[in-house]
Structure 1
Amino acid sequence: MPDTTLDEALADLAALEDPRMRAANEARGDDHGINLSRMRALAKRIKADQPLARELWATGETSARLLALLICRPREFDADELDRMLRETRVPKVNDWFVNYVAKKTPLAEELRLRWFDDADPTVAAAAWSLTTERVVKSPDGLDLDRLLDLIERDMKDAPGRLQWAMNETLAQIGIHDAALRPRAVRIGEELQVLADYPTPPGCTSPFAPIWIAEIVRRREG
């Protein structure tokens, strides 16, 4: 089967556009009208295609960028290219997919984590904290967890939303995975009260760190 062209991919995306879906997505800050399951099916049909992914990204369109993130090969981007892409991911779903499907999958993840950690742009810093959470869970050796808790205790309460959420994830995962630091992580969460009132559907775990930590530890040790 011939490779999909940019015009063909854009036409496929346009065919999936649903005005009702757009209205629902725009209420969450995502300016596209495509059911994501249908977009994933389109990506599966196209298969991995790095040149097309770059062309889709360059359009600047949210739906095209989401498709690009599904069909790209993360290891084929260099660090500067990934840095530029991150700084363009203002739409929530594009940012979420970029961090989880590309930044966390590239062999450059640790280099980027260090590069982005102290960035003045909270969207960029949030990505660094997400990569830090990944290390806390999968490869904590070499991380200064006490210093991370110091930074969380100092900065999380007043951090912008996306950055605050990412720091809170790191706090919770430190508490879950490091028994020695668990009491401190819980205390920080209780003192800061970040996301304490977050509406949590029945059957879901609250993102409030003390509750999150307690529930996951209970499941593991139960």
Structure 2
Amino acid sequence: MTETTVAEVLAELAALEDPKARAVNERHGDDHGVNLGKLRAVAKRLKTQQDLARQLWATEDTAARLLATLICRPKAFEQAELDAMLRQARTPKAHDWLVNYVVKKSPHAERLRLTWFADPDPVVASAGWALTTERVAKQPDGLDLAGLLDLIEARMKDAPDRLQWAMNSCLAHIGIHHPAHRARAIDIGERLQVLKDYPTPPNCTSPFAPAWITEMVRRQHK
């Protein structure tokens, strides 16, 4: 792909910029104002273009990076490349999309999970916890669930926001998917009170782990 193509895509994203959307996004730590539905429409038209995805990521523009996660070929990235990209992804949405749309589909996901899980940078560590939560739900064999609960019990209360959110999600998924650990997961959530007062819209499930676990288990048994 030529630089012109990157320039054309950046110009198109700039034209989609909406000040109102940017104001909303900035309240959540994201520095872009492109409607995500319109961004996905651009990705659908561009289809898969790995070289262009790499070049868009290199621009450091958040909307361009989000687009890159949608048009890339996840299995084409090397482990070191994904590690570098994760450490560059400082806005929440770019971080989340990179983990969910790219890293989870990569053959390097498990090695990266282990690398990031204990990283001293809490944003990087949150990616390790997100990948761990994926395994808790879908591929728990080999995970030390009791050990994970020990770590959550000891560290979640005082963890920085992004890491706390990721640990809380792991706690909830242990409780939802593993009945043998459910009572302890609920007890930890009740004692730590993390996200208990999180504003939750009507008809949405609270991220407070005991409420989240109880509601999801109720739905399983309907």
- TM-score in same-fold range (> 0.5): yes
The reply on whether 1:70 has 2:70 as its aligned counterpart is yes
Q: CA-to-partner distance for each residue in 1:67-104, whole Å, 9 max, x for gaps?
A: 11111111111111111111111111111111111111
Report the Cα offset of residue 208 of structure 1.
0.5
Q: CA-to-partner distance for each residue in 1:8-59, whole Å, 9 max, x for gaps?
A: 2112112211222222222222111110100000000000101000100111
In structure 1, the partner of 2:201 is 201
TM-score (norm 2): 0.96
**Runs (5+) with no aligned partner, structure 2:** none
Q: How does 1:103-182 map to 2 (within 5 A)?
A: 103-182=103-182
Aligned residues: 220
Superposed CA RMSD in Å reads 1.2
TM-score (norm 1): 0.96
User: Secondary structure of the residue that 2:180 maps to in structure 1?
Assistant: coil
Q: Which amino acid aligns with 1:59?
A: T
The reply on whether 1:15 has 2:9 as its aligned counterpart is no
Distance (whole Å) between structure 2 residues aligned to residue 112 and residue 124 of structure 1:
10
Q: Identity rate of aligned residues, in percent?
A: 67
**Runs (5+) with no aligned partner, structure 1:** none
Distance (whole Å) between structure 2 residues aligned to residue 22 and residue 215 of structure 1:
33
In structure 2, the partner of 1:87 is 87
Distance (whole Å) between structure 2 residues aligned to residue 27 and residue 187 of structure 1:
32
Distance (whole Å) between structure 2 residues aligned to residue 79 and residue 103 of structure 1:
9
Could you list the runs of 4 or more consecutive aligned residues of structure 1 that deviate by over 4 angstroms after TM superposition? none
Distance (whole Å) between structure 1 residues aligned to residue 53 and residue 160 of structure 2:
30
In structure 1, the partner of 2:211 is 211
Q: Which amino acid aligns with 1:26?
A: E
